[in-house]
């Protein structure tokens, strides 16, 4: 394996994430923001982790109201992608419910990780790429 072949292997995932870009695509499944070696996942009022009900979401510069949930990056060992490093930070929960959440309690909440892994699995399946295992890391 080489960096080139690994990038080629993951390219369909990033291509689909770019097609389903939350900034430009109003489709309900467009929840992604692609980078070079991974992507971010956003939620909407209609598709969000458990516990996010009632959170106010604004479109801002995006195609629809949304809030950031988490990030996915390739984990490299040598020249091979061996896993996905994932992390979540529920900024909206802390901002809108400061009595219930703080900046210390919003990272890698179980419900957010579970929702994120579901979205990642869906994206990999639609892209036709076998999904590596996920490893939760600090945000």
Q: Where are the domains of the chain?
A: 3-136
DSSP summary character for residue 37: S
Predicted confidence (pLDDT) per residue in 4-62, tens digit: 788 788 999 999 999 999 999 999 999 999 998 899 999 999 999 999 999 999 999 99
Predicted confidence (pLDDT) per residue in 69-112, tens digit: 999 999 999 889 999 999 999 999 999 999 999 878 999 999 99
Predicted structure pTM score: 0.94
């Amino acid at each position: 394996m080489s960096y080139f072949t690994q990038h080629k292997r993951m390219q369909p995932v990033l291509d689909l994430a770019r097609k389903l870009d939350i900034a430009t695509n109003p489709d309900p499944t467009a929840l992604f923001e692609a980078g070079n070696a991974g992507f971010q996942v956003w939620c909407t009022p209609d598709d969000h982790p458990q516990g996010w009900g009632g959170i106010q979401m604004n479109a801002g510069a995006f195609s629809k109201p949304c809030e950031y949930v988490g990030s996915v990056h390739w984990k490299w060992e040598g020249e091979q992608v061996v896993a996905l490093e994932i992390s979540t930070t529920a900024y909206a929960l802390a901002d809108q419910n400061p009595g219930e959440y703080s900046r210390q309690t919003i990272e890698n909440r179980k419900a957010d990780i579970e929702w994120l892994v579901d979205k990642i699995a869906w994206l990999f399946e639609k892209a036709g790429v076998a999904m590596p295992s996920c490893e939760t890391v600090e945000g």
